[in-house]
């Protein structure tokens, strides 16, 4: 009789009777739903106030965009649909990018050569600006066009994600046995090393097949926010590296913790050291 008591059976029973982890999960989901519902109501009031006062300036965030769209029947999306959109994007888009950046900065700390190459690339790109040519380089806010040009940074973020994927487990079933981590047969003998150069051909970033680089999944369920995630991570990384040297606090334990996403069990403690003017000048080709 005992052979029928499988983990799936226990999980279903807990869900049915609202017990243990299932009870906690339900409570947590309700709290996130309430938060999202609150944001939606506040945004609706804000939009109707703008409409009443004929104000044209509107927010351009994702929720506002979805609020302005219509479903297949030409109706505005329901509050429940908007709530689920919010939930989906908070869940898939927040921790994934921030955890990837933690691993990225940790790898950078151990690979100063890579940090230097990124700084060199960033400075080379901003050197083309008129104000930087005139010596005003400190207040630079990177433009989308400039972020796009940062191939080496793109490669470094990709290599970090490939070594430490933010979404480490895939709930789908594999029909064949697959090894964990980066496989030597695909990535070469140095597969365990942090080496952005492996993504570059003649200095330009080359995409790897989604079936080799699985951090964003592949096929029809490919991450919808991939391009946005890259833009966001590169923008933050470039803005920090351009101004600061990030140094991990000595003896701070860095260990992965596997959950839905792969975060650092104790976070990443760092000290930021503002870059010297001479350090930046060295890489700016403004002559
Ligand atoms: C480093 C950052 C990110 C990583 C590593 C990542 C990874 C992934 C992975 C592995 C999946 C597939 C999950 C599955 O079906 O098993 C996924 C799905 C998804 N991601 Fe991302 N993601 C990132 C950032 C983002 C961002 C910033 C957004 C939105 C702004 C986003 C939106 C989504 C959505 C909506 C899906 C569901 C797609 C679908 O099922 O059709 N992701 N992501």
Residue from 81, 95, 221, 225 to probe ligand 1 pocket by mutation (most atoms less than 8 Å from CB): 225
Phi and psi torsions of 82, nearest 5°: -65, -40
Centroid of ligand 1 to alpha carbon of 208 (angstroms)? 17
CB 255 within 8 A of CB 264: yes
Rounded distance between C-alpha atoms, residue 240 and residue 195, angstroms: 21
Angle at 33 between CA 29 and CA 36, to 5 degrees: 140
133 has a pLDDT exceeding 60: yes
The fraction of the chain above a pLDDT of 70, given in percent, is 92
Phi and psi torsions of 10, nearest 5°: -60, -45
1 has a pLDDT exceeding 60: no
pLDDT, tens only, 215-237: 999 888 899 899 999 999 999 99
Q: Whose CA is nearest to atom 7 of ligand 1?
A: 216
Q: Which residues, other chains included, contact 177 with Cβ-Cβ below 8 Å and sequence gap of 6+?
A: none
Q: Whose CA is nearest to atom 26 of ligand 1?
A: 93
What value of ipTM does the predicted structure carry?
0.98
Centroid of ligand 1 to alpha carbon of 224 (angstroms)? 6
254 has a pLDDT exceeding 70: yes
Q: Which residues, other chains included, contact 205 with Cβ-Cβ below 8 Å and sequence gap of 6+?
A: 151, 152, 154, 155, 158, 199
Residues having CB within 6 Å of any atom of ligand 1: 88-89, 92-93, 96-97, 100, 161, 166-167, 170, 215-217, 221, 223-225, 228-229
pLDDT at position 75 is: 94
pTM of the model: 0.85
Centroid of ligand 1 to alpha carbon of 167 (angstroms)? 9
| Domains with residue ranges and CATH for the chain | 2-93 (no CATH), 95-283 (1.10.630.10)
Centroid of ligand 1 to alpha carbon of 153 (angstroms)? 21
Q: Is 191 annotated as a binding residue?
A: no
Angle at 187 between CA 184 and CA 189, to 5 degrees: 50
CB 216 within 8 A of CB 210: yes
Long-range contacts of 275-283 (CB under 8 A, 24+ apart): 275/242, 275/243, 275/244, 275/245, 279/119, 280/123, 280/137, 280/242, 283/119, 283/120, 283/122, 283/123, 283/124
Find the range with the poorest average confidence among 14-23, 203-212, 234-243: 14-23
pLDDT at position 124 is: 95
pLDDT at position 89 is: 85
Rounded distance between C-alpha atoms, residue 112 and residue 100, angstroms: 18
pLDDT, tens only, 140-150: 999 999 999 99
Nearest to 97 by CA among 245, 227, 253, 269: 227
pLDDT, tens only, 40-87: 999 999 888 887 777 766 777 889 999 989 999 999 999 999 999 988
Centroid of ligand 1 to alpha carbon of 266 (angstroms)? 24
2 has a pLDDT exceeding 60: no
pLDDT, tens only, 256-265: 998 888 999 9
The fraction of the chain above a pLDDT of 90, given in percent, is 61
Q: Which residues, other chains included, contact 231 with Cβ-Cβ below 8 Å and sequence gap of 6+?
A: 144, 147
């Amino acid at each position: 009789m005992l052979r029928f008591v499988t983990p799936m059976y226990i999980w279903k029973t807990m869900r049915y009777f609202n017990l243990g982890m299932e009870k906690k999960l339900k409570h947590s989901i309700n709290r996130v739903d309430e938060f999202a519902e609150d944001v939606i109501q506040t945004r609706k009031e804000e939009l109707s106030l703008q409409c009443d006062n004929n104000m044209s300036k509107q927010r351009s965030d994702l929720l506002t965009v979805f609020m302005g769209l219509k479903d297949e029947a030409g109706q505005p999306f329901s509050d429940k649909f908007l709530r689920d959109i919010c939930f989906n994007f908070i869940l898939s888009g927040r921790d994934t990018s921030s955890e990837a950046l933690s691993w990225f900065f940790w790898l950078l700390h151990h690979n100063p050569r890579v940090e230097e190459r990124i700084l060199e690339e960033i400075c080379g790109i901003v050197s083309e600006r008129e104000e930087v040519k005139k010596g005003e380089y400190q207040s630079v806010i990177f433009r989308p066009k400039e972020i796009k040009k940062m191939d080496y940074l793109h490669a470094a973020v990709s290599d970090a994600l490939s070594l430490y994927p933010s979404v480490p487990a895939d709930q789908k079933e594999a029909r064949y046995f697959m090894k964990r981590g980066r496989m030597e047969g695909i990535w070469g003998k140095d597969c365990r090393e942090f080496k952005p150069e492996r993504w570059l051909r003649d200095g330009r970033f080359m995409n790897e097949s989604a079936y080799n680089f699985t951090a964003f999944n592949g096929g029809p369920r490919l991450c919808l926010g991939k391009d946005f995630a890259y833009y966001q991570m590169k923008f933050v990384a470039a803005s920090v590296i351009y101004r600061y040297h990030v140094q991990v606090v000595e003896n701070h334990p860095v260990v992965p913790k596997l959950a839905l996403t792969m975060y650092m069990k104790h976070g990443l403690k760092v000290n930021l050291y503002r870059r010297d003017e001479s350090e930046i000048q060295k890489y700016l080709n403004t002559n």
